[in-house]
Amino acid sequence: MKKLAKIPLIALLAVLGFFVVTFTIYFFNLDMKATSLLAPYLQKWYDKMEHDHYL
Amino acid sequence: MKTVEKVVNPVKRAGEQSPGKIYDEKLKVRRRREWRGVKDTFYDYTRWLYLMSVLGRFIIVPRNIKGFFRYRWMMSYLFVPHGMDKFTVGLRDEALRIAHTSFNFVIADVTQAIANCFRGDRRVGNDKAYSDKCVITDENSMVTFMMGFDTDKVHTILREVPTMFASNIFHQFNVMHYLDVAQLNGIAGDVCPMPEAEAGISIDDDFCVLGSCAVQNNTTCDGSLMGNGIIAKRLERQYGIPTFQLATPLRHKEPDVLEYAAEEIKQAIAFVEKHTGEKWNWDTYFAAAKRVNFATKCRIAQMEINSTPYPQFFGAAFSLYNDTNYMGNSGRMPAFVDIDKKLLALAEQGYKAKRMYAKEYRHRCIVWGVQPQYVIDMLYWLVQCWGVVPLTDMLSVINTDMIADEDTPENREQAYRDMAMLNMEMIMRNHTHGGYKVLLDELWELCEKMNADIVMMWEHMSCKALTGMHGMFEEQARERGIHIMWVSHDLCDPRVFTRQAIRDQVNSYMRTVMREEPLDPSLENIPDSEAY
């Protein structure tokens, strides 16, 4: 019974934790900052690919 | 010179007052997101979560991961939230909700278009049965000739939209590679960068390869024709995909061209039927025609609100939504109807509450010419930095006539003429072709109707369709006492004009000709020219 009573509390903490983490990422634009660090490596990946040029 | 009454916003904007502070020249993205007050920041955050869920659901499909690493243009889609933020800077209340409702829907639609491309792509998903029911259509073509095919049986693939057009919205440098490829292969550098980039993508073999056939349109300029030729050659000769050339008359205001244009539509439909093995369904067509009419009614209502002192739905989101709904959809998908209703309800609510995008409206402006406003947040910037309201843009001024939407024997013949009319007068083509009346006279009529005192003329350096009329614009604007502000750009090639170089032309005009100071000085110089 005690365990059951804890479920709403755990759910609330999970929602709160999700909100704090995602809102921090959102507000400080951490998603786009991380992506912009990744972009140069992806650029190199695409540059290395062989392409069949046809005009 | 003509003047308009200044409108002052009695309500102070919630949250921060100077969004210029969120830019940082050391970063390729914004320093942080904007604080819009509790209510609007939370709303913006929930829309960001929604976008993340759209992107997440897309990338968990294995073939989409494969496609991501195969195609260079896919890198742009990492920056979707960055692109979305570009169109919401400084927005609050209904304006923020309108931008999200319209643009989020466009993003979801483009994501689905990419997923469809990858499913049929011979290199990625290679679902042959699906691919055999796909028709590749031109990005610059209004897909009216697909309105009578059931969407679950024949799939319309606007392959160039996710590859070039939309990818450029999220990452301003991403098509430069394709421009270089085209020019390395001998294409002249003074062609419009949009079709040139599309030609470069084809030369570089970076288009998805799928479909039983393709339909191209002679739209909208010499560059477009050049690009289509290169793309069609590869499609037909290397990949064995037959390509139909839908030759649409340019003088669309002349009544005697309509029968010929209708015949072309019939031929295009017959071509699709032959290659997909599916039949045209009149029930499907007239249901789509009803939705086209509904979209037209909603757009007219939005323009009427924009003619009042409290315009609500304008800027890049308005233009892009119209592009997607009118040209890419053409009534085929019922989901657009609900979005149209929601957008109109938000605009009406905003109008009743007298909501404004800035603290002051000093001028009312019509944006004309070939526009680059998808790669730059220019129109929202214009209203917030200088109090110049961009009431509408050239690409959003399209058909206002209703088409036949009841299934009768007479209307079945009329339907071909309606499809032909919509195709001839589609976005871009309706003003860049058809003579000076559609480019000049309609502009002055619009200035009168919407009570505009400024025309911001986009001068696209590589566009031959409009540059020849520079002198006539100047002369006629002077006769009418309308300010004409020329702003040069080179569409999707930021090496010719950076974002700040584009804005500086407005800054100079407003300071030297209009003798005004900016409403928000933090926006006058933004270090975002190197940003994605």
B78 vs A contacts (CB less than 8 Å): 35, 38-39, 42
Stretch B221-237: mean pLDDT = 92
Asked if residue B352 lies in contact with residue B432, where contact means CB atoms within 8 angstroms, the answer is: no
B59 part of contact set with chain A, CB < 8 Å = no
CB-CB under 8 Å, A38 with B205: no
Instruction: Give the mean model confidence (pLDDT) for residues B303-314.
Output: 97
Chain A residues with CB-CB distance to B28 below 8 A: 36, 39
**B204 closest CB neighbour out of A31, A39, A53:** A53
Instruction: Classify residue A24: in a domain, yes or no.
Output: yes
Type and span of the H or E element at B392? strand B388-393
Quote the pLDDT of residue B90: 93
Which chain B residues touch A34 with a CB distance below 8 Å?
none
- Chain B residues 176-195 with a CB less than 8 Å from chain A: 177, 181, 185-186
- Note the pLDDT of residue B60: 97
Q: Which residues of B touch A49 (CB under 8 A)?
A: 70, 72
The answer to whether the Cβ–Cβ distance between A55 and B230 falls below 8 Å is yes
CB contact under 8 A, B49 and A23: no
Give, as one character, the DSSP assignment of residue B133.
T
Centroid of chain to Cα A26: 10
What's the number of CA atoms in the CB half-sphere (13 Å) around residue B309?
12
Q: What pLDDT is attached to residue B469?
A: 84
The domain segmentation of chain B, as residue ranges, is 7-523
Distances from the Cα of B245 to the Cαs of B163, B435, B520, in angstroms?
A: 21, 23, 49
Provide the ipTM. Answer: 0.94
Amino acid at B69: F
> A13 is in which domain, residue-wise?
2-46
| Chain A nearest-CA residue for B226 | A55
Question: Per the structure, how many domains does chain A have?
Answer: 1
State pLDDT tens for residues B344-378.
999 999 999 999 999 999 999 999 998 887 888 89
In this complex, do A45 and B203 lie within 8 Å of one another by their Cβ atoms?
Answer: no
- The predicted-structure confidence for B411-427, as pLDDT tens digits, reads as follows 999 999 999 999 998 88
Inside any domain, residue A55? no
CB contact under 8 A, A46 and B72: yes
Residues of B in contact with A36 (CB under 8 A): 27-29, 532
Q: Which of B32, B79, B238 sits opposite A28 (nearest CB)?
A: B32
Shortest CA gap B32–chain A (Å): 4
Residues B25-37: tens digit of each pLDDT: 889 999 999 999 9
Which residues in chain B are closer than 8 Å to A44, comparing Cβ atoms? Answer: none
Provide the percentage of residues in chain B whose pLDDT is more than 90: 85
For B203, the enclosing helix (H) or strand (E) is: helix B193-203
Most trustworthy range by pLDDT among B165-174, B284-293, B433-442: B284-293
d(CA B351, CA B313): 10
Quick: pLDDT tens for B450-506.
Answer: 999 999 999 988 887 677 788 999 999 999 999 999 999 999 899 999 999 999 999
pTM of the model: 0.96
Would you call B233 exposed, middle or buried from its count of C-beta atoms within 10 A (0-12, 13-18, 19+)? middle
